[in-house]
Chain A
Amino acid sequence: DTGVSQDPRHKITKRGQNVTFRCDPISEHNRLYWYRQTLGQGPEFLTYFQNEAQLEKSRLLSDRFSAERPKGSFSTLEIQRTEQGDSAMYLCASSPGPSSGSEQYFGPGTRLTVT
């Protein structure tokens, strides 16, 4: 399977703990995106990368959130001092590049539960 993969698929953590999620995009996709989705809602944009450069961050991404894509391939999303409101599905997507249009390829998501 050469689609977008995310790890872990599920994470349960206690409030105040730090968590880190990983996303492996489709090989050779230059763009990588992170979204957050809560039940019954559409995905909310968090941030995106063009290769290793983080080009835009949503105001939803508080100082507790940080994302990296150090070598322009996989990406990590870290949440520090988790809060119950952070409970959501965290989705990663990738796309080929500037001339590829609007299509993004999504991974299965990491479901975070903060207790």
Chain B
Amino acid sequence: GESVGLHLPTLSVQEGDNSIINCAYSNSASDYFIWYKQESGKGPQFIIDIRSNMDKRQGQRVTVLLNKTVKHLSLQIAATQPGDSAVYFCAESSGGFKTIFGAGTRLFVKA
């Protein structure tokens, strides 16, 4: 069936370093691939998405890369800050409807 998963359950980085969070997906028919951030006690918060016909998209301090050949998605966070500590989910959707989430990667930022 459809699935979106993550390579690593936890990631620990030093404040100021760049973070890279990886994700593997299996449904090539999705037209959006998305990253969400979830802090403790809160609902997920949209970070950035990328359409399936793109391979790179940049936002503020974040870059998402899509490699359709190997069905791999990554989120790069530049100059990681303590406020970036959270669980990050990759997700995929078709037509902005049903969104399928992966299991999440917990990012720890060390001061």
A41 touches B103 (CB 8 A): yes
Determine the chain B residues whose CB is within 8 A of the CB of A108 once the complex forms.
41-43
The yes or no answer to B27 lying at the interface (CB within 8 A) is: no
Given the complex, which residues of B lie within 8 Å of A106, measured CB to CB? Answer: 43-45
Nearest neighbor of B50 in chain A, beta-carbon distance: A102
Please give, as numbers and ranges, the residues of chain A lying within 8 Å of B44 by CB-CB distance: 43, 91, 106
A101 CA / B91 CA spacing, docked (Å): 13
Which segment of A14-22, A64-72, A74-82, A92-100 sits at the interface? A92-100
Given known A102-B34, A102-B93, contact A45–B100 (CB-CB < 8 A) = yes
Does residue B61 face the partner (Cβ distance < 8 Å to A)? no
A interface residue count range (under 10 / 10 to 19 / 20 to 34 / 35 or more)? 20 to 34
| A4 contacts B43, C-beta separation under 8 Å | yes
Is the C-beta of A40 less than 8 angstroms from some C-beta in chain B? Answer: yes
**Chain A hits for B98, CB < 8 A:** 45, 48, 56, 58
How many angstroms from the CA of A98 to the CA of B71 in the assembled complex?
A: 26
Does B18 belong to the interface (CB within 8 Å)? no
Residue A115 at the B interface, CB < 8 A?
A: no
Interface residues of B (CB under 8 A from A): 4, 32, 34, 41-46, 49, 89, 91, 93, 95-104
* Chain A residues packing against B (C-beta within 8 Å): 4, 31, 33, 35, 40-45, 48, 55-56, 58, 91, 93, 95, 98, 100-109
14 example contacts (A-B, Cβ-Cβ < 8 A) are as follows A31-B97, A33-B99, A40-B103, A40-B104, A41-B104, A42-B102, A43-B44, A45-B99, A98-B95, A102-B99, A105-B46, A106-B43, A106-B44, A109-B42
In the A-B complex, list the 7 residue pairs whose CB atoms are closest, starting with the nearest.
A106-B43, A42-B101, A102-B32, A103-B46, A102-B49, A42-B89, A106-B44
